[in-house]
Chain A
Amino acid sequence: MAGSWWMCCRRLNGGFTNSGLTETLRCFSGHAAYSSASPTGRPSLSSTPRKEVSLYLTGSAVTPGKVIESARRRSSSLYSTLQSCGCRTTHSDAKLRDPFTLAQKDLTSIYDDIKKELFVAKTELKYLCDYYFDGRGKAIRPIIVILMARAMNIHSNRAGDLLPGQRTIAMISEMIHTASLVHDDVIDGSDERRGKKSINDVWGERKAILAGDFILSAATMALARIGNSAVVKVVSQVIEDLVRGEFMQLGSKENENERFKHYLEKTYKKTASLMAHSCKAVSILVNSDPEVHEIAYQYGKNVGIAFQLVDDVLDFTSGAEQLGKPAAADLKLGLATGPVLFACQQFPELHAMIMRRFSSKGDVDQAWQYVLQSDGVQQTTYLARRYCEEAIRQISRLRPSPERDALIRLTEIVLSRDK
């Protein structure tokens, strides 16, 4: 077993040295406390530089300097799996924890199945509904759902394969998400989404809204067909939360403390609720223990909030690198997100700007400057990291499995993505 591990590492890296091995062993001891989920083992993982992760993900050639780093990570994953799974045969260690690869089999046909659900006779409406299900999205929600379902299945003493109902929930999560995107584009008046023109830009607002409603109704129909009332209740809660979250964005609070609480709640409703409830739903289908449902729910919730926090950070940072000017889409919409709220503590001038929703001339640029000068971005990232740690703590209570580790890996990916 160790032999095959060694050989495949060499195959992958081409320049594996002994020093790398000792480094790896040192790292193992750091990760020994992994399963008990103490925070001490975490820093080395979470401090992974961003670029490396994207290289890792795209699978392009790695330079020798980074090889050791990535090898260390891969082998550490292998070690913990060996530790916990005993004699489980290991394939390529990269595959073991990579969420995308693990979920790949189930994911490929998701979009086609979704299109089958959107059965409608009239061609134009069909075209509109299929518009966003072309595989270009990140599909992070179905991936989370699929991995959680498998992890739950293994935890509940069944085979890892997905039940049909769980598969449907993965589809539904993506459909509900897309429907909300379509409506959000009309509400925000945006004309681009996922690299192409938005539906309201091409066909007009009326048809966009109707298409969104249609996707939603198809999702509800698929949900009903699973035949489980508890699941229906859990997922329909999401729809209500999505709308309430959107309403929450309309209002704004005076008090600073309230503002942050409001922001977190809005984040939960708009992003985390879908993930949390979908995870809970798949766990309900295989397991009747409410504590297990709660684990799934908490994982989804924490990852969701972290996901949105990172998203808000990227709104400030990615524009600077790639565009050379502020993207600041949230500021332009008048929304005060995490970085801004943190920056407000250092620059009280932001208070007034937040209250008037950055409507005055020059507000957006000024606010952007303040945020970058302050430590708003760092604080928000730190907060996201804390949420991820909580998610990992929760998910570690499950029985070990590749999918569970992939879910842990996913939190890192969430933290360190750049788009």
Chain B
Amino acid sequence: MQLGTQPLYLHLFIYLPFHRVRWLAASFIFRRSALFFHFCHVFSVILLSIFAVRRGAEEEEEEGACVRESERREAAAAVYSRHTPEVLRLFSDPSDAGDPAEGSRCPAESAIFCAVSSAVRAPVLSRLSPGSSVTRWVSVSVRGLRGLGLFSSSESSSNWSKVVSDAEKIVGYPTSFMSLRCLLSDELSNVAMHVRKLVGTQHPLLNTARGFVYDSKNNLQMRGLIVLLLSKTAGPSHAASELLTKDMVSGIYPSQRNLAEITELIHTAFLVHRGIVNLKEWTVSDGPLKDMEFGNKMAVLSGDFLLANACTGLAELNDTKVVELISSAISDLVQGIYYENYYNVEDGLGDGMDVTPWEDQAFLSHGALLAKSCQAAMQLAKHDREAQRLAYLYGKHLSLGHKLNSDLQPFVKSRLGEMTSFSLSAAPVVFHRQIVGKEKWHQQLEELLAAVKSEKGVSSAVDLCRYHSNRALEAIQAFPSSEARSALENIASAVNKF
């Protein structure tokens, strides 16, 4: 498929205002054609198209849709499709940030970035790894969760999106976008070309790859954003002399920006590594064995590549304490993921786990990275131990709160009688099991969803979520008041909303 034919699809995306139809069209196109062949080019084109649609929707909500704006957008889209790598490099160069004092570039560009970054959301935190027949029904639940969308209700989703896009404007630099630079390298575009062979199989790498492209509604790929915001909130360094204020762009040191990028890289790497299939558990319905092996190979290589880039990036920071912190975050992450599915598989039939070990495990697999990155960001600016401790607390509690929020979605959103799938390691379920006891738990396995909703599981989880949100808010109070701090507060509060 040649580059020249792409505008056709581009038009298709731009002029389909309805998200559902667009999603269907995209999935149809993806399955049929060799779009993956020029993955990196198409990828950014589609991003832009999603941006165009979402931006259109947002502008209707806000006041004043500017005609000139849409013209610029289309021009930018055309430029994008022709000169993608160069354009991307241009956009990602911090020296283009314009007036640093103002904190953002010209509105159109920052709008592009906002939408692009919110468009590029990796799949949900609580993504499990399907592929084995044992956890197949759980994989269905994950896809169902994705289809539901984390914020499918318009009110909370627009609230969340608004919070996020405001936050992004403050830091003047897109965050999820950053890992794209790595994704567009030669090695990974090589991988992308190979990934098309997986189309039609059940290999999870395919889902992960798709998720990068049009999972615009899900997930929280915003660790980088939070690191940036926290850096800005804490302000310039008081201690160190070698960190010059004039190096700051939008109130953030370049080293902190790099750290944010590294955090995203690590997160992405583990998303990819989560999607590896155990070949011994392969069944015919997964697709040809050779393809699954191949998919594994691609997943391992891409994940390793991202991790390697993260490591060299860490080395460039010239701060061994930070390297140690982030490496310990990686090892926490591995431990968390190792037992992520372990409890899940056991849970269905045997004893589940109680809340405290659940929380520990959830922290390891979801919280550790963000918490330690926040702490590391403070370390980079040579802030004192207290600031580091508070940043750590903010990161930890926010991510736990968010995990709870995403776990709660099926229970809070669906109406009674509507069958939605969910994960057995979700918080309300864990609480429920603890409250209700083992025998009754086994009895209730079939009517699980209704039972959880009617018992106190949901409200307990909501309380815990509120607790974490409040702790995060407390931690951030100690920092000087600023726009960035308010954004962080908004994010922490938004996590509390259902």
Contacts and interface: CB of A to CB of B under 8 A. Distances in A.
Contacts of A221: 323-324, 327-328, 331
A224 B321 contact: yes
Contacts of B318: 229
Interface string A232-244: 1101110110111
A224 B334 CA distance: 19
Contact of B316 (A189, A220, A233): A233
Nearest to B305: A243
B320 interface: yes
Contacts of A250: 190, 194, 301
B315 A233 contact: yes
Interface in B293-346: 293, 296-297, 300-301, 303-305, 307-309, 311-312, 314-316, 318-321, 323-324, 327-328, 330-331, 334-335, 337-339
The main secondary structure of chain A at its interface with chain B is helix
A239 B308 contact: yes
A362 B12 CA distance: 49
B187 A224 contact: no
A344 B327 CA distance: 45
Interface string A8-28: 000000000000000000000
B308 A242 contact: yes
Given A223-B323, A224-B323, A240-B309, A217 B331 contact: yes
A285 to B, nearest CB: 13
A204 B278 contact: yes
A220 B278 CA distance: 27
Contacts of B278: 204-206
B281 interface: yes
Interface stretch (A77-85, A208-216, A295-303): A208-216
B324 A125 contact: no
A186 B279 CA distance: 10
A207 B324 CA distance: 24
B178 interface: no
Nearest to A120: B335
Contacts of B328: 217, 221
B280 interface: yes
B308 A122 contact: no
A227 interface: yes
A246 B308 CA distance: 12
Given A225-B324, A240-B311, A247-B301, A218 B187 contact: no
Interface residues of B, number: 43
A187 interface: yes
Contacts of A97: none
B187 A209 contact: no
A183 interface: yes
B320 A229 contact: yes
Contact of B319 (A223, A226, A229, A251): A229
Contacts of A228: 320
Interface string B252-271: 00000000000000000010
Contacts of A125: 334-335, 338
Contact of B300 (A187, A207, A216, A244): A187
Contacts of A214: 331, 334-335
Given A233-B316, A236-B314, A246-B304, A217 B327 contact: yes
B476 to A, nearest CB: 28
A97 B300 CA distance: 41
A89 to B, nearest CB: 41
List the 8 closest pairs (A to B, CB-CB), nearest first: A224-B324, A204-B278, A224-B323, A220-B327, A217-B330, A236-B315, A217-B331, A221-B327
6 contacts: A125-B338, A205-B276, A216-B307, A236-B312, A243-B304, A247-B301
Interface of A: 120-122, 124-125, 183, 186-187, 189, 204-207, 209-210, 213-214, 216-218, 220-221, 223-229, 232-233, 235-237, 239-240, 242-244, 246-247, 250-251
Given A226-B320, A242-B308, A251-B190, 4 more contacts: A209-B276, A209-B303, A220-B314, A239-B307
